[in-house]
């Protein structure tokens, strides 16, 4: 499922599980989104939900799967919701392909360093809508 809504600026929520590195990465992304004029909010009000995941231990991975299942229902009700997933659960391209099949409501799978680059790119071309930027990034193998 691809979101077709054009979202110039809006509200975001970053859901983070795992190590201190994940916390730090989420903080960097939060700073970039704040600089883009986005407002942090609860997950139910967000136009953009970013899941920063962990697969080192079973409990954080199960939490991520539960969150993804909840987001599937939210995404079915709202066409203005973009869902991005990053972190070590993503792994390699085969893992991304498997997750894409299991969770087709995820708009963007991206490694943390790529997401930070993506947000910096988006910031530099301020006129580009988030939905269009996501569409561009999904066709660019460097972003996946």
Asked, for residue 69, whether it belongs to a domain, the answer is yes
Residue 5 placed within a domain: no
- Considering the domain boundaries, does residue 42 fall inside one? yes
For residue 132, tell me if it sits in a domain. Answer: yes
Total domains, the chain: 1
- CATH number, domain containing residue 115: 3.40.50.12160
The domain in which residue 86 lies consists of 11-138
Segment 63-99, tens digit of pLDDT: 888 999 999 999 899 888 889 899 888 888 888 889 9
6 part of a folded domain:
no
Q: Is residue 54 a part of any domain in this protein?
A: yes
Residues 85 and 108: beta-carbon distance below 8 Å: yes
Q: Classify residue 4: in a domain, yes or no.
A: no
Are 17 and 64 within 8 A, CB to CB? yes
Predicted structure pTM score: 0.76
């Amino acid at each position: 499922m691809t979101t077709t809504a054009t979202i110039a600026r809006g509200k975001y929520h970053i859901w983070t599980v795992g190590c201190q590195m994940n916390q730090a990465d989420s903080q960097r992304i939060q700073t970039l989104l704040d600089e883009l004029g986005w407002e942090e909010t609860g997950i139910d009000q967000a136009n953009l939900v970013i899941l920063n995941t962990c697969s080192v231990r079973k409990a954080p991975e199960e939490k991520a799967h539960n969150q993804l299942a909840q987001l599937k229902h939210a995404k079915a009700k709202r066409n203005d919701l973009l869902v991005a997933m990053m972190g070590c659960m993503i792994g390699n391209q085969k893992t991304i392909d498997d997750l894409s099949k299991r969770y087709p409501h995820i708009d963007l799978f991206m490694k943390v360093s790529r997401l930070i680059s993506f947000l910096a790119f988006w910031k530099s071309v301020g006129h580009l809508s988030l939905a269009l930027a996501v569409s561009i990034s999904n066709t660019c193998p460097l972003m996946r």
